[in-house]
Copies of this chain bind each other. A is one copy, B any other.
Amino acid sequence: MASYTLKPLRVVRSIQQIRHYSAPLDNAIPASKQKYVPTSGTYPKGFLVSGTHVGVKPTNTRFPDLALITSETPCSGAAVFTKNKFQAAPVTVSREMLQQRNGKGVRAIVINSGCANAVTGKGGLEDAESMARTVDACFADPEAPASDTPAISSTIVMSTGVIGQRLPIQKILSQIPTAHSSLASAHSGWLTAARAICTTDTFPKLLSRSFTLPSSPHTTYHLAGMTKGAGMIHPNMATLLGILCTDAPIPPSTLSPLLTHAVSHSFNAISIDGDTSTNDTVAILANGAAGGPEIASSTSPDGLAMQETLTKFAQDLAHLVVRDGEGATKFVHIHVVNALSVAAARAIASSVATSPLVKTALYGRDANWGRILCAVGYTPGVEAGVIVPEKTSVSLVPVDGSEELKLLVEGEPEAVDEERAAGILESEDLVIRVDLGGGETGRGREEASWWTCDFSHEYVT
């Protein structure tokens, strides 16, 4: 069992979100977010996890801030890292490790919150390396001679928190054996680990799911994942971490493209490309503990099914980050359809999703399609012919299945039923649909989705 027990929770009944910047999450989850915290789960076989209190920030005297995710057997690993020019030490160390191993023989992921170990120079790299090595040592045969230490670590390292400060590395290293001895497979362990990676998040973000694959319909596979974000405006601007685990048998050569595809349509569709912090990392481990035939290719029937499952799962996880966006009171899906290219659809969806004018309008429950149109119109880098004012339509789509509310139809403003608009904008979930009408040729059929939250007062507090 984990050394830290999550329940009972103190529920904050006010809509006001309480945040402790760059400090571990308090033992309080806003009432409005309670529904996103699972009370049980079905977890992948052969994974053991824990969340442990270290006190990376001296002010944190009791909450878990070190997560350890391990596989009982060496497994495949892959990761997608930040594109920021300033990369934190754990990013550099983990990237090199995965390259050297070609994604094979990974055993663990260790994550600390409270300090990002970013812009910390050579000492920071040594700290990240020593975290990995200390986890490795927990798996080593204590009887084996020191010369048996493998040349390459088998542990992925992540850090999140304040930039520019060195880790209290001795404190962290001294608690890694405790983290190892606390490893467990139960739901409470997963939830404690998910909580340990939080910084300004108001709730731990954990999901699990079971699925089957076409070639082995009687084998049940599992996926579990945790994430943290709670970013400003573009969620990726605060550190975004994601950890995915599955007991499906996926070799590194398949795992890497599957993860890239999934992240591109999930974690990278809640922010603009390249708009990432120094530490952003999404990693996946696949240990094959559930058995069945190896997924040899991402384009085989099993591979395609796995891709769909993984992408949907990653989306659901990424959506939790949006729901916990600083100041978020709404979850908004920007859906751009009938575009001449996927790239253009993505760029336009991103432009609308990140427009502060749109976001404040949503918070203000203002069906101002002018702001949406304006954000469509200034999307940078869109080729000629993609956006044709006389072909552009904008609708609000309620999530209750009722009819869409047309705001603009082929460039002409609609007489909007303001009451209905206000009703749709009242709800927590909402879709804004931008139909480009096929562009200049009329033949565009590409689409893209982006997810965002509104902007509220709390954001600047």
A-side residues, CB < 8 A to B, are: 83-86, 116, 118-119, 121, 162-165, 232-234, 237-238, 272-278, 327, 355-357, 360, 363-364, 368-371, 373-374, 376-380, 382, 387, 389, 392, 408, 411-413, 455-457, 459-461
Contacts and interface: CB of A to CB of B under 8 A. Distances in A.
A86 B376 contact: yes
A327 B356 CA distance: 13
Given A163-B374, A370-B163, A412-B121, A380 B460 contact: no
Contacts of A355: 237
B276 A237 contact: no
A360 B86 contact: no
A47 to B, nearest CB: 32
B380 A273 contact: yes
A379 B274 CA distance: 8
Q: How many copies does the complex hold?
A: 2
Contacts of A278: 370, 373-374, 377
A159 to B, nearest CB: 13
Nearest to A234: B356
Contact of A119 (B119, B363, B413): B413
Nearest to A275: B378
A277 B162 contact: no
Nearest to A278: B374
A82 B341 CA distance: 24
A186 to B, nearest CB: 37
B370 A118 contact: yes
A408 B380 CA distance: 32
Given A85-B376, A164-B370, A360-B459, A121 B237 contact: no
A428 to B, nearest CB: 18
Nearest to A351: B275
Contacts of A392: 86
